[in-house]
Amino acid sequence: MSVQKMMRVPRKMVGGRIPFFTCSKVFSGFSRRSFHESPLARSTYEEEKVLVDEIKQKLTPDDIERCNKLRNIGISAHIDSGKTTFTERVLYYTKRIKAIHEVRGRDNVGAKMDSMDLEREKGITIQSAATYCSWDKEGKNYHFNLIDTPGHIDFTIEVERALRVLDGAVLVVCAVSGVQSQTVTVDRQMRRYNVPRVTFINKMDRMGSDPFRAIEQLNSKLKIPAAAVQIPIGSESSLSGVVDLINRVAIYNKGDNGEIIEKGPVPENLKPLMEEKRQLLIETLADVDDEMAEMFLEEKEPTTQQIKDAIRRSTIARSFTPVLMGSALANTGIQPVLDAIVDYLPNPSEVLNTALDVSNNEAKVNLVPAVQQPFVGLAFKLEEGKYGQLTYVRVYQGRLRKGNYITNVKTGKKVKVARLVRMHSSEMEDVDEVGSGEICATFGIDCASGDTFTDGSVQYSMSSMYVPDAVVSLSITPNSKDASNFSKALNRFQKEDPTFRVKFDPESKETIISGMGELHLEIYVERMRREYNVDCVTGKPQVSYRESITIPADFDYTHKKQSGGAGQYGRVIGTLSPVDDITKGNIFETAIVGGRIPDKYLAACGKGFEEVCEKGPLIGHRVLDVKMLINDGAIHAVDSNELSFKTATMSAFRDAFLRAQPVIMEPIMNVSVTSPNEFQGNVIGLLNKLQAVIQDTENGHDEFTLKAECALSTMFGFATSLRASTQGKGEFSLEFSHYAPTAPHVQKELISEFQKKQAKK
């Protein structure tokens, strides 16, 4: 039989099951694998696995047993997908809390993991919160370190820092809305830090829920092979449980809060769907797992254990995600997710973690999660507590003990661990020791987020997290009596949040704060009022523009200054040109022949380039994607010095920049708007007024999602307009996409406004 004919074999039902050998997608896996998983990604993981296996050889039986029972996981999702509600159920079923409370503080308590008053009032997670809990599975007790992260794009740094130190994640997806804008962002972050995930489709009790549409979106939008390991029993308000496809058994939640699990036979009407989706699960696994593919081609039906093993291998390899489903609010389907965390997500010994040996030319070192190894830990989050600065630490190697002295690799400072705690949201539990693979917190350590600590016997530095650029700024002025607390608040917030930036503008005499969005800055202004009693007056939000050039321009600039004694002299010759590869940023290069400019002066030129790029010639904003090449110049035997060449470089840059057809670049945002279907015309009209470019529209059962690109400068006040246009039922999210040139008339206005301000000084 030809391959083409094999691919057209119809599915046949035999005794309620689809025989394994009549599968309709015998060879489809080879094309799908190349679509979802590049050969480079696959080879990278295979190289990782070899190294992980080598590291495992260095572990003692006690290390292996300890790691096997440990999982470091995060809960991530688009805003309002129900991840905090999901986390609340996890804590309840693992007996970490005694009662379930809801988000938004509707019961005057609020979700355990939303410990800030603002979080409970607004019903959103603002800071990632850490806890730990235990789960019993098949007579074994497993220890989970759990981090609940924000879903709002403005607080994306909280997701970044959590994923940086986690070994696995649960991706929560709404059964009604499916894959949304922040789901795509979280997926990108998971890939950045090589974090495998299981997926939980939540809100299955909602009208319009469609888990299989959501799974299709996981495949098509996130480009990761995904298949259900469960199907629902009942739909929408009649949801009563789930069917376990692997074991062919029905699972029901009983008791007041779904704490009792009952298993039974699969309802007859669901058996055909169960067999169809089970077969699809096996086919998808055959696409991404070599052992399953071999069985597939040999027409062998895999056992239950072989299916589980294939899911575990391919999940850890980040080439597949198993999909579970249920409703956190209806207390349905949560316990099987806890089992899946144990079965499919890696323990600390199955993840490759590397550091750079600062004492050996930053050679790469693979860390070993053994307690007898030298201690290496990463400070990934700072928080101001009532007892001082609380520093969250992930221990990658060795152990951390109360009373130990540890060294900050970046600063060289040695500090004593006076107190060691495990966190349970805002509560603390003192411990004397934590081993490798664990997450803990400590007091009294002065450091920055991303610093590496060791026991002093090694100088290993771990890479920090990705910190995106700020896109929104506003001026902020405290009441004069609050100046001291104002400074304290700004210093604290900057240490805690790398995306929150503060600068003082000497020209306007104003303090400028910058962040990821209007909500981001609003939250900090409100926190100043609540936590520091500082009332502030804020200016209008301002766009963080960038300046760039479009054509090359040569320069030959001589800086001369005589003042009676030794003067200043520096001449630089070269070219200023645009950078084609936007990932490289600004570039400074030299190509001096014959030592016409000594190296120490060239270093000063580099500093001048960096400084002038911070404040461009057009409107005083940062310069983007410009390359400066100095290939000739001249010195004076007496008058030349570093300052002369730094000044010459800055002046040459400004002169050439204005001759290189300069442009002002503005941030373009990805906009996602979700609203009831009856307001679709209003929303489209609203976006058209803002000159947004509509990219895609998805129509659901009772609501639609519209995706567009729009200049950030037009989006201020959009929340108010959207509320008015949708009777308060619409919601939207913004995420930075790229920089693009402003319209010529906008550029003229911005330059004119800047020049007027300069003339007044």
Is 330 assigned a ligand-binding role in the annotation? no
- CATH class, domain 472-542, is alpha beta
Ranges of each domain in the chain: 3-36+69-350, 354-461, 472-542, 551-660, 666-746
Tell me how far apart the alpha carbons of residues 532 and 521 are, in angstroms, rounded to a whole number.
Answer: 16
Residue 678 identity (one-letter amino acid): E
pLDDT at 523: 85
Q: In this structure, how many other beta carbons lie within 10 angstroms of the beta carbon of residue 1? A: 7
Residue 15 CA: distances (Å) to CA of 12, 19, 244, 275: 10, 9, 19, 11
Is residue 384 scored above 80 in pLDDT? Answer: no
pLDDT at 316: 95
Provide DSSP, 664-707: EEEEEEEEEEEEEGGGHHHHHHHHHHTT-EEEEEEE-SSEEEEE
pLDDT at 533: 87
Task: Enumerate the β-bridge partners of residue 512.
Answer: 475, 503
pLDDT band at 41 (very low <50, low <70, confident <90, very high): low
Scan for tokens 């797992």, then name that residue: 289
Query: How wide is the angle at C-alpha 111 spanned by C-alphas 105 and 114, nearest 5°?
Result: 95
Query: Which comes out higher in pLDDT, residue 13 or 571?
Result: 571
Q: What is 3-36+69-350's CATH topology? A: Rossmann fold (3.40.50)
Judged on CB neighbours under 10 Å (0-12, 13-18, 19+), 424 is buried
- 3-state class of 620 per DSSP? coil
Is 77 assigned a ligand-binding role in the annotation? yes
End-to-end Cα, the chain, rounded Å: 85
Query: Which comes out higher in pLDDT, residue 281 or 153?
Result: 281
Per-residue pLDDT, averaged over 636-648, amounts to 91
Is 151 assigned a ligand-binding role in the annotation? yes
Q: In this structure, how many other beta carbons lie within 10 angstroms of the beta carbon of residue 349? A: 22
Ramachandran region, residue 257 (left: φ > 0; alpha: ψ -120 to 50; beta: rest) = alpha
Query: Which comes out higher in pLDDT, residue 228 or 520?
Result: 228
Is residue 33 scored above 50 in pLDDT? Answer: no
Tell me how far apart the alpha carbons of residues 123 and 111 are, in angstroms, rounded to a whole number.
Answer: 9
Residues 250-294: pLDDT tens digits? 999 999 899 999 999 999 999 999 999 999 999 999 999 999 999
Strand ranges, E, within 510-610: 510-515, 536-538, 542-543, 546-549, 553-561, 568-578, 587-590
Q: Do domains 472-542 and 666-746 have the same CATH topology?
A: yes
Is residue 462 scored above 70 in pLDDT? Answer: yes
pLDDT band at 507 (very low <50, low <70, confident <90, very high): low
Sequence-separated (6 or more) residues with CB below 8 Å from residue 36: 219, 223, 224, 225, 288, 319
Is 36 assigned a ligand-binding role in the annotation? no
Residues 119-143: pLDDT tens digits? 445 544 445 567 889 999 988 999 9
Is residue 15 scored above 70 in pLDDT? Answer: no
Label the pairing between strands 460-461 and 388-397.
unpaired
Q: Which two tokens stand for residue 283?
A: 């086919």
Query: Which comes out higher in pLDDT, residue 161 or 326?
Result: 326
Q: Which of 14-23, 597-606, 660-669 has the weakest average pLDDT?
A: 14-23
Percent of the chain with pLDDT over 70: 87
pLDDT at 125: 46
Is residue 12 scored above 60 in pLDDT? Answer: no
How high does pLDDT run on average in the chain? Answer: 84
- pTM of the full structure: 0.72
Is 82 assigned a ligand-binding role in the annotation? yes
Does residue 721 contact residue 713 with C-beta atoms inside 8 Å?
Answer: no
Tell me how far apart the alpha carbons of residues 521 and 537 are, in angstroms, rounded to a whole number.
Answer: 13
Residue 549 CA: distances (Å) to CA of 220, 617, 715, 744: 37, 11, 26, 14
pLDDT band at 646 (very low <50, low <70, confident <90, very high): very high
Residue 237 identity (one-letter amino acid): S
Is 204 assigned a ligand-binding role in the annotation? yes
Is residue 6 scored above 50 in pLDDT? Answer: no
Residues 154-202: pLDDT tens digits? 566 666 767 778 899 999 999 988 888 778 878 888 888 889 999 999 9
Is 315 assigned a ligand-binding role in the annotation? no
Is residue 734 scored above 90 in pLDDT? Answer: no
At the second CATH level, the architecture of 354-461 is: Beta Barrel (2.40)
- CATH class, domain 551-660, is alpha beta
Is residue 480 scored above 90 in pLDDT? Answer: no
Is 83 assigned a ligand-binding role in the annotation? yes
Is 80 assigned a ligand-binding role in the annotation? yes
What torsion do the CA atoms of 435, 441, 445, 449 make, to the nearest 10 degrees? 100
Query: Which comes out higher in pLDDT, residue 565 or 92?
Result: 92
pLDDT at 470: 77
Query: Which comes out higher in pLDDT, residue 453 or 384?
Result: 453
Residues 77-125: pLDDT tens digits? 877 778 888 888 999 999 888 888 765 444 444 444 444 555 445 544 4
pLDDT band at 16 (very low <50, low <70, confident <90, very high): very low
pLDDT at 627: 96
Per-residue pLDDT, averaged over 19-34, amounts to 34
Does 666-746 carry CATH code 3.10.290.10?
A: no
Is 81 assigned a ligand-binding role in the annotation? yes
Is 152 assigned a ligand-binding role in the annotation? yes
